[in-house]
Amino acid sequence: MDTLFQRIIAGELPADIVYRDKLVTAFRDIRPRAPTHILIVPNKRIATANDIGDDDEALIGHLFTVARDLAKREGIAEEGYRLIINCNTHGGQEVYHLHVHLLGGRPLGPMLASPIS
Residues near ligand 5GP (CB under 6 A): 4, 15, 27, 29-31, 39, 86, 92-95
Among candidate residues 81, 52, 65, 84, the one with its CA nearest the CA of residue 24: 65
CB closer to ligand 5GP, 31 vs 55: 31
Shortest CB 75 distance to ligand 5GP, Å: 21
Choose the catalytic residue: 62, 90, 97, 99.
Answer: 99
Q: Report the candidate in 108, 112, 111, 99 with the shortest Cα–Cα distance to residue 70.
A: 99
CB of 117 to ligand 5GP, least distance (A): 25
